[in-house]
Amino acid sequence: ARKKLNRLKKTQAVTLDGVEINLLANIELPQDAVAALEAGANGVGLFRSEFLFMGRTGQELQLPTEDEQFSAYKEAVLAMKGRTVTIRTLDVGADKPMDASEHNILNPAMGLRAIRYCLKEPQIFLTQLRAILRASAFGHVHILIPMIAHAFEIDQSLAMIAQAKAELTAEDKKFDANILVGAMIEVPAAALSLPMFVKKLDFLSIGTNDLIQYTLAIDRADHEVAHLYSDTHPAILQLLHMTVSAAEKAAIPVAICGGMAGDVRLTRLLIGMGFRELSMPAALLPEVKQEILNTRIESLQPLVKKILRCYDPAVIQDTLTQLASAGK
């Protein structure tokens, strides 16, 4: 079994009809890059940088310095040996609180989290952007902005990136001047107004965990409503389909980095919809790759189209089962 897994690790994820799927890993700390490579990831599709900021002790908020962040990002970049590392900027708040004070917030998931927090704390944001840019001199880095909903959030983020670049240039510090910048589609408003974003961005990445939370209005951390958390709700499937279509039209890449990307029961549906990049926890990569190797995208089309036209949950489930058991 070990030998088979090793062979699988070196095999590229290509469907039977020759479509290449880019399989990437999600990481939380730089050390996780080792497991990502071990599992055969083509790169890191989501580095959740907030884990460097969380769980730091003391009463006062203690943030990692620019140099600390730089070392952490650089470690991940070097470990991936030239493969892309997509570093998501600080996504704190809600289910990832930075300190205890956040427990008093009325509605944290809808509060000051992710890019909203960063734009309110430009010094923290700038420090992180400088650290990411400095790490980009050591490999292939992309910047990913979480939780966008408004055009000005992209404009302001790009302005901050430009400012960080100008500072580093003045200080004679190296960085990748052509670094690509993308945004996470995880607020329904963003998925419903993609033309507002695609021209300003180099790529998109869908955060299905939050997209489901906000679309279905169920707190992803609240067990009382966990039974309502449905990734195959027609609203979710429509939003995914809209996003992949808009990205195709704008000729920019789109990935999925939320939980749906690593769910092997959904692999055929997602690649049938047109997704070519999936980022997931490293441990799930072999299973998803195996499914891709056993799939012919062309022959999935009728069932995928049926699911996308369907608003009956029972029929969607039934068709998904057919999709999973369909031959090659």
Q: Determine what percent of the chain falls in helix, strand and coil, rounding each to the nearest 5.
A: 55, 15, 35
Quickly count: other Cβ atoms within 10 Å of residue 197's Cβ: 23
- Using CA atoms, how far apart are residues 96 and 92, in angstroms rounded to an integer? 5
- Using CA atoms, how far apart are residues 91 and 47, in angstroms rounded to an integer? 11
Nearer to ligand PEP, 24 or 161 (CB): 24
- Among 162, 266, 156, smallest CA distance to 206 is for 266
Report residue 189: phi and psi, to 5°: -55, -35
- Among 15, 144, 122, smallest CA distance to 73 is for 144
The binder of ligand PEP chosen from 84, 163, 209, 290 (CB under 6 A) = 209
Nearer to ligand PEP, 139 or 258 (CB): 258
CB 45 within 8 A of CB 24: yes
Q: Is 93 in the site for ligand PEP (CB under 6 A)?
A: no
Report whether 88 belongs to an annotated binding site: yes
Binding partner selected for residue 272 from Mg ion, ligand PEP, none, CB under the kind-specific 5 to 8 Å limit? none
Q: What is the DSSP string of 113-142?
A: -HHHHHHHSHHHHHHHHHHHHHHGGGSEEE
**Annotated catalytic residue, options 124, 143, 160, 257:** 257
β partners of residue 142: 86, 180
Stretch that binds ligand PEP, among 74-82, 124-132, 206-214, 266-274 (CB under 6 A): 206-214
Report whether 210 belongs to an annotated binding site: yes
Q: Is 32 in the site for ligand PEP (CB under 6 A)?
A: no
Least gap, CB of 281 to ligand PEP (angstroms)? 11
Binding partner selected for residue 208 from ligand PEP, Mg ion, none, CB under the kind-specific 5 to 8 Å limit? ligand PEP
Least gap, CB of 24 to ligand PEP (angstroms)? 12
Quickly count: other Cβ atoms within 10 Å of residue 118's Cβ: 26
The binder of ligand PEP chosen from 90, 257, 284, 285 (CB under 6 A) = 257
Q: Tokens at residue 111, please?
A: 């509060």
Interface contacts to Mg ion, rule CB under 5 A: 186, 207, 210
Give 22's DSSP letter.
E
Token pair 């980095």 is at which residue? 257
Active site residue 118: no
Nearer to Mg ion, 139 or 207 (CB): 207
Report whether 66 belongs to an annotated binding site: no
Report whether 209 belongs to an annotated binding site: yes
Single-letter amino acid code for the residue at 272: G
β partners of residue 22: 277
Q: Is 282 in the site for ligand PEP (CB under 6 A)?
A: no
Stretch that binds ligand PEP, among 132-140, 164-172, 173-181, 207-215 (CB under 6 A): 207-215
Binding partner selected for residue 74 from ligand PEP, Mg ion, none, CB under the kind-specific 5 to 8 Å limit? none
Binding site for ligand PEP (CB under 6 A): 46, 48, 91, 186, 207-210, 257-258
Give the residue numbers annotated as catalytic, written as ranges.
Answer: 257
Residue positions forming the annotated binding site for phosphoenolpyruvate:
48, 88, 209-210, 220
Residue positions forming the annotated binding site:
48, 88, 186, 209-210, 220
